[in-house]
Amino acid sequence: MMNKKGFTLTEILLAVMIMGIIGVALASLTTAASRESGVGRSKVLLRNNLSIAIRQLRQDIHQSSRVMYVRGRIDSSSAGTVVPLLVLAKNADMNDAAINSMSSPSYVTYCFVTGSTSATPSGALSEGKIYRRESSAAPSWSSSTPSCGTPASDSNFKIFLHNVKFIPPIGSSGDAQYYPVPLFRLSANDSVYSEKDTSTAEARRKDLGSVLLVKMITELPSTPVVNEAVEEIFVLPNGFRVQN
């Protein structure tokens, strides 16, 4: 009789264990590659959105004849709070009359609606948004603050940027102590500028001939968290300088 040899139970179990280890390793590598690919796509999406937003903002600034309001840093804001960030006048002098008789004045308003940092009962996160409105009607004011109303229900407002992260400042002064976003400020001054505030507007006129600093962070509440930041300095054209 011929002596027929086969695999022992120990050899079969060892082979199964080795195949299992290889399978787990391959699955881990595939999962990691898929996650990194998803993170990369998300970062590209956020970067593209920020690029489009900055392009629109730059166009508004270059076409404007004067700045009417700049928010500066936002010290605190609860979920759903509406905060005006920037108001620009296009082709309008200090009396809101047309500079060029061939065109009518228009006004651009940027407003931020704070998102929620905690999950809602449905499990979703409320994202922060920046809205933009351009209108031939001059903005309404509450004292020295422009009114944004309720951008989400106002057809004149269009979403300028999704997934906007809010970070309040830490400390009272000095950029090294905090990185507040979103931030729209004139020169190195974090305080509010409003042409309707007669107590500060005169002293701040010199700032209107310098620069506008903008900082924004967009963030997706994913796992892992994906975010993208932008910091731009816009040189204000001569038309921003308020005349005495």
Task: Answer with the residue of higher pLDDT: 5 or 106.
Answer: 106
**Model pLDDT, residue 178:** 67
- pLDDT, tens only, 70-87: 999 888 888 889 999 999
Give the pTM: 0.79
- pLDDT, tens only, 227-238: 899 999 998 765
Residue 4 lies in a domain: no
Residue 32 lies in a domain: yes
Residue 110 lies in a domain: yes
**From the centroid of its chain, how far is CA 102?**
35
Residue 3 lies in a domain: no
Q: Residue-wise over 46-70: b if at least 16 C-beta within 10 A, else e?
A: beebbeebbeebeebbeebbbbbbb
* Count of other CB atoms within 10 angstroms of residue 139: 18
Q: Average pLDDT for residues 7-11, to the nearest whole number?
A: 72
Cα 241 to Cα 136: distance, rounded to the nearest angstrom:
22
**Model pLDDT, residue 23:** 76
- pLDDT, tens only, 85-121: 999 999 888 888 888 777 889 999 999 999 886 655 5
* Residue % of the chain over a pLDDT of 70: 77
Q: Work out the angle at residue 57's Cα, subtended by the Cα atoms of residues 52 and 60, and round it to the nearest 5 degrees.
A: 130
**Model pLDDT, residue 200:** 63
Residue 167 lies in a domain: yes
Q: Average pLDDT for residues 35-55, to the nearest whole number?
A: 83
* Cβ-contact 161, 216 below 8 angstroms: yes
Domain extent, residue 79, equals 13-240
Q: Work out the angle at residue 209's Cα, subtended by the Cα atoms of residues 166 and 212, and round it to the nearest 5 degrees.
A: 15
- The answer to whether the Cα torsion of 167, 164, 146, 82 is positive or negative is negative
Q: Residue-wise over 162-195: b if at least 16 C-beta within 10 A, else e?
A: bbbbbbebeeeeeeeebebbbbbbbbebbebbbb
Number of structural domains the chain divides into: 1
**Model pLDDT, residue 203:** 57
- The answer to whether the Cα torsion of 63, 69, 70, 71 is positive or negative is negative
* Cβ-contact 228, 50 below 8 angstroms: yes
Q: Average pLDDT for residues 47-65, to the nearest whole number?
A: 94
